Structure 1
Amino acid sequence: MKRLATCHDCRRPILWTITEAGKRLAVDPDPDSAGNTAVRCDGVGTWRSRRPTTELPINGWERLHMPHVATCPNRAEQLALPVGVTSLAEHRRKRRQ
């Protein structure tokens, strides 16, 4: 049984999972074929998530879900930089090439 929480920003339901690194990750509660996170419930009722790879593809007991950070409508507002602040991401991308 899924114990759903509510996103503080958009008030939509979310499902908290634990990643392979032991971090918490909020995902949308309904499976999504466009998702990039494999989610399963372990034997003690903890929801676990991981990123499927070519070496470790999705298993039969896992379902693809979308991380909530990718679908939260209020997330774009949070990512907007304040006036006068410049993002260095574009500069860093150019240096790597």
Structure 2
Amino acid sequence: MKPLVPCRDCRRPILWTITEAGKRLAVDPEPNEDGNTAVHRDGTGAVRSRRPSDELPLCGWERLHMPHVATCPRRTEQLALPAGVTSLAAHRRKRGHRP
């Protein structure tokens, strides 16, 4: 596997992967049965990741890993909104469904 890089927030080692959409995704380097990201190395040596589904389940050469954003202690602390701050996520979802 590629060399591990420390997380900027918690300094734990992370493994950078490339998703099917070409985006970068940080995952914990150790496989995790509770993870939701299938990770493998392709023929060029790049570490690839994807989300397994019913149509395309986990293959024999892939291992489940946990996305680092789900386990990073500093990120989970930052997810809680401070007092007096309102999340606009629900408003944005409604706005996207205009007829």
State the TM-score, normalizing by the size of structure 2. 0.85
Say how many residue pairs are matched.
95
Residue identity in the other structure for 1:69:
V
Residue identity in the other structure for 1:23:
K
Unaligned ranges ≥5, structure 2: 94-99
How far did residue 46 of structure 1 move?
0.5
Unaligned ranges ≥5, structure 1: none
State the TM-score, normalizing by the size of structure 1. 0.86
The residue number in structure 2 matching 1:36 is 36
The residue number in structure 2 matching 1:19 is 19
- Is contact 2:20-2:48 (8 Å) kept? yes
Distance in structure 1 (CA, Å) of the matches to 2:91 and 2:19: 31
| % identity of equivalent residues | 77
C-alpha RMSD over aligned residues: 2.1
How far did residue 44 of structure 1 move?
1.3
Residue identity in the other structure for 2:66:
M
